[in-house]
A and B are shown apart, each in its own frame.
Chain A
Amino acid sequence: MRAAEHSQAMHFQARAGEKVRNPVLQRALQKAKPLFVGKRAKGIAALAEDGLAFEPLRAACEEIRNRVLADLDVWLAIFEERAKATGAEVLWARDGDEICDLVIDVARRHGVTKAAKSKSMLSEEAHLNEALAAAGIRPVETDLGEYIVQLAGETPSHIIAPAVHKTIDEVEALFAQEHGRPPEPRTSADIPAMTREARQVLRQHFLSAEMGITGANFLIAETGTASLVTNEGNGRMVTTLPKVHVVITGIEKIVPTLEDFATLMRLLPRSATGQTISNYVSLLTGTKRPGEYDGPEKTVFILVDNGRAALLGSAYQDMLRCIRCGACMNHCPVYFSLGGHAYGWVYPGPMGSVLTPLYTGIENALDLPHASTGCNQCGSVCPVRIPLPKLMHRLREEQVERGLRPWSESFGLKAWAWLAGKPKLYRWFARRASRYLNWLADDSGRIRVFGLAPGWTAGRDLAAPQGKTFHELYAARKRA
């Protein structure tokens, strides 16, 4: 199963139109955006209380991630050795299919019938839930947002707030159906009661699942450790109660030392939710020790490539620094106009607009690098300084180089280049065009419907040129 087969990214324009016209989704998004932006801003501003500042801290975070990528072969070898020394098994997966095969094999070896999952975006890359279900193993998402999304038969629309697109009424309908009770009218005052209901249902799954599946926010090379950062405590549950723990993570997620981890932890929660620290930060090393009551008897790491290694040494290597905080999408005007599902694959927002073409094929996600206003809000909040707009721009260039743009666009650009190379003709043309547009305008100087490209004026008016061209004005001023 190639990643591209599951990607809907080629339908971006159609889906975007649909999302813009969905009032329920738009209400959910408009409610969420100021919260995300405001919380992060507050969290970052609070660094000053301790004499810290965002720029030096993100430079340190960038350096840590670059250090690992520059010698990733070495760091992987160190991590593998040390993880094995703690008693964990280390497996490798080239792609999503191999992830599924490995997890199912581990499950069968240990008689697993139910797997409780903490959030893992890599399991979304692999479509692991479908594969587990087909193999007779029940996957239960336990992050509240992921649980809601799983009940709805959907995919997450945000990497840290998977159900951000769902309103309380939609959640109530799903809970009523799954929990076998009639739906009730709900207001935000009922959210604690709804959360409690989900807690009781999911608690039973934590206690009965034989396998816990998680991702890892980081792998710590020094100690062979997986780190998990959660607020709900589900990450702790699935790594404490089930007898088997499977960690599925990308090969790029390594950090060298505990000190480096501490540095990154000063920016990860702040960038994601504005918290100075998440409620639970767990470092998991090896298996249950002699005399210990809880913890897994078996710990398996699945280190995944699925397109990552190919970015090393390429023009896109910077993208591998990503620590999956979600700040780029939280600050993206395009993301908050459309929600995450419009992007058509696992990762939405600016990081998705870079990763989706790189992991599923540039030719399979032609619109995504263009789904940007170029405002660079994503680049300016990124805690590891990934130049997201620059990477999207590079992807656009690659589309041109590989002849993947529509003929009308290439023809138009060629025509413009030819014209721009002939100054006299260009000026003559510009004069005519300016007069023509001015003639098209109504009394207020605006063009309501532009017949040559009606799409441009579908949602707004085009301000018409007010008379002379720049060259004419320049020449007149020089004479004066």
Chain B
Amino acid sequence: MTARDEILGRVRAGVGKEDFAARRAAAEAYMAARRRGPQPVIGGELATRFRAKAESLSSTVEAVAEAGEVPAAVARHLQQHGLPSSGVVTSDVAAFDWASSGLQLSPRPAVDSDLLGISGCFCAVAETGTLMLLSGPETPASVSLLPETHIALVEVSRIVATMEDAFALLRSERGSLPRAVNFISGPSRTGDIEQTIVLGAHGPCRVHLILIGA
């Protein structure tokens, strides 16, 4: 007997029920209902909440009124913090006029030596101050992972209240899941040496968010 058959046999014996087809139909119905658990009450403006939560998770946030201001805001931030002005950008936000603000960005996946990665996001979650990024040909996951500095552009209209709302948006706009959905909440961190929190474990050491349309 194969391992699969033997394990499933044990599971069936443990479950101790017949009528597989009826139970399977019930499971399908349960999934289709997309029932939500207890939902948080997110009061006030979603953008305000998102910003406060993101900052509490050690991201820095700047709000700009419109998309045209983004390259200058990014350049200013990098200069203020003495950070390199060249790196990689995901294709979905490559069309900004980065060069006019003195930024040299290549629309490609990141490699080890890239120090700056700029990405958009699919949407953002106000409840936890979290970015939701989808992997794809236009949006390689490495851009938000390998460089020490990750800058993400967040349109205020794309901030939803909860993770459930983000999933609903994903289903309605994309239908199915990409290879990787990455929820990102601030710079990478570890507490593995004497429970002391250090930012910049394996992923970015700093995450800066530009809120567009605030």
Contact = CB atoms under 8 A, between A and B. Distances in A.
A294 B11 contact: no
Interface string B185-214: 111111111111010111110000000000
A292 B186 contact: no
A281 interface: yes
A311 B142 CA distance: 41
A334 interface: no
A285 B145 contact: no
A195 B190 contact: yes
A143 B192 contact: yes
Interface in A24-63: 28, 31-32, 35, 50-53, 56-57, 60-61
Contacts, number: 270
Interface stretch (B35-43, B71-79, B93-101, B114-122): B35-43
A199 interface: yes
B140 A294 contact: yes
A139 interface: no
Given A237-B145, A292-B136, A282 B180 contact: yes
Contact of A259 (B34, B180, B203, B204): B34
A173 interface: no
A371 interface: no
Contact of B36 (A35, A71, A168, A263): A263
A191 B193 contact: yes
A74 B163 CA distance: 26
Nearest to B201: A232
Nearest to A142: B202
Interface string B10-41: 11111111001001101110110011111011
Contact of A31 (B24, B30, B194): B194
A311 B14 contact: yes
Identify which of A50, A56, A288 gathers the most chain B CB atoms within 10 Å of its CB: A50
A71 B142 contact: no
A373 interface: no
A244 to B, nearest CB: 14
A343 B63 CA distance: 52
**Interface size range of chain A in the complex:** 35 or more
Contacts of B188: 231-233, 279-280
29 contacts: A51-B40, A51-B41, A57-B37, A71-B27, A73-B8, A73-B11, A191-B194, A195-B198, A199-B201, A231-B191, A236-B203, A237-B145, A259-B36, A259-B167, A263-B37, A277-B185, A279-B184, A279-B186, A282-B183, A284-B179, A285-B180, A289-B136, A291-B137, A292-B135, A293-B109, A293-B137, A294-B135, A305-B10, A314-B14
Contacts of B191: 161, 231, 273
A20 interface: no
A264 to B, nearest CB: 8
A168 B14 contact: no
B128 A294 contact: no
Interface of B: 2-4, 6-8, 10-17, 20, 23-24, 26-28, 30-31, 34-38, 40-42, 53, 57, 108-109, 112, 127-128, 130, 135-137, 140-142, 145, 162-164, 167, 176-196, 198, 200-204
A51 B30 CA distance: 26
Contacts of A312: 10-11, 13-15
Interface in A207-242: 207, 221-223, 225, 231-234, 236-237, 239-241
A256 to B, nearest CB: 6
A94 B137 contact: no
Identify which of B12, B127, B162, B202 gathers the most chain A CB atoms within 10 Å of its CB: B202
Nearest to B161: A50
A251 B7 CA distance: 9
Contact of A295 (B26, B38, B141, B195): B141
